[in-house]
Chain A
Amino acid sequence: MTIQEIFFYLFSIIMLAAATMVISVRNPVYAILYLILTFFSAAALWILLEAEFLGIILVLVYVGAVMVLFLFVVMMLNISQSRVSEGFVKNLPLGIGVALVMLAEVLMVLWYKNQTGIDNYPIPVPHEQGYSNTAEIGERLFTAYLWQFEIAGVVLLVAIVAAVALSMREREGVKSQSVPQQISADKRDRLELVDMPVEGVEKN
Chain B
Amino acid sequence: MDAILEFAWLLFRIVLFTLLPLILLVAYYTYAERKVIGAMQSRIGPNRVGPLGLFQPFADVIKLLLKEIILPKEANRYLFLIAPILAIAPAFGVWAVVPVGDGLVWADLNAGVLYILALSSMGVYGIILAGWASNSKYALLGAMRAAAQMVSYEIALGFSLLGVMILAGSLNLQAIVNAQSGGMLDWYWLPLLPMFLIFFISALAETNRAPFDMAEGESEIVAGFHVDYAGASFAVFFLAEYANMILMSALTAIFFFGGWLSPFEGWAFLGDSWLRDSSIFWFLAKLIFFMFNFLWIRATFPRYRYDQVMRLGWKIFIPIAMVWMLVAALFVFNGIVVRGA
Chain A, interface size category, equals 20 to 34
The answer for the CA separation of A57 and B171 in the assembled complex, in Å, is 13
Asked whether any CB of chain A lies closer than 8 Å to the CB of B16, the reply is: no
B118-A60 in contact (CB<8A)? yes
Type the 1/0 row for A34-48, where 1 means its CB is closer than 8 Å to any CB of B. Answer: 001000000000000
Type the 1/0 row for B124-137, where 1 means its CB is closer than 8 Å to any CB of A. Answer: 11001100100000
Asked whether any CB of chain B lies closer than 8 Å to the CB of A59, the reply is: yes
Q: Which residue of A lies closest to B132 (CB)?
A: A75
Closest 4 CB pairs of A and B: A64-B121, A60-B118, A59-B118, A132-B110
Interface of B is mostly: helix
Jot down 12 A-B pairs with beta carbons below 8 A, ordered by A.
Answer: A56-B114, A57-B114, A63-B118, A65-B121, A69-B151, A71-B132, A72-B147, A75-B132, A75-B140, A134-B111, A135-B110, A177-B307
Chain B residues lying within 8 Å of A72, measured Cβ to Cβ, are: 128, 144, 147-148
The answer for the CA separation of A131 and B189 in the assembled complex, in Å, is 30
Of the residues A3, A52, A59, A75, contact of B122 by C-beta under 8 Å: A59
Asked whether any CB of chain A lies closer than 8 Å to the CB of B238, the reply is: no
Chain B residues lying within 8 Å of A69, measured Cβ to Cβ, are: 151
Interface of A is mostly: helix
CB distance from A127 to the nearest CB of B (A): 12
Q: Which residue of B lies closest to A177 (CB)?
A: B307
Of the residues B122, B147, B307, contact of A71 by C-beta under 8 Å: B147
The answer for the CA separation of A11 and B150 in the assembled complex, in Å, is 29
A-B Cβ contacts below 8 A, count: 69
Chain A residues lying within 8 Å of B143, measured Cβ to Cβ, are: 75
Chain B residues lying within 8 Å of A53, measured Cβ to Cβ, are: 111, 114
B151-A65 in contact (CB<8A)? yes
A134-B118 in contact (CB<8A)? no
Q: Could you tell me which A residues sit within 8 Å of B by CB distance? A: 3, 29, 33, 36, 52-53, 56-57, 59-60, 63-65, 68-69, 71-72, 75-76, 132-135, 177, 179
The answer for the CA separation of A3 and B115 in the assembled complex, in Å, is 23
In the complex where A76-B144, A179-B311 touch, is A68 in contact with B114 (Cβ < 8 A)? no
A64-B118 in contact (CB<8A)? yes
Asked whether any CB of chain A lies closer than 8 Å to the CB of B154, the reply is: yes
In the complex where A60-B118, A69-B151 touch, is A134 in contact with B128 (Cβ < 8 A)? no
In the complex where A56-B111, A65-B154 touch, is A134 in contact with B171 (Cβ < 8 A)? yes
The answer for the CA separation of A8 and B189 in the assembled complex, in Å, is 42
Of the residues A52, A68, A135, contact of B128 by C-beta under 8 Å: A68
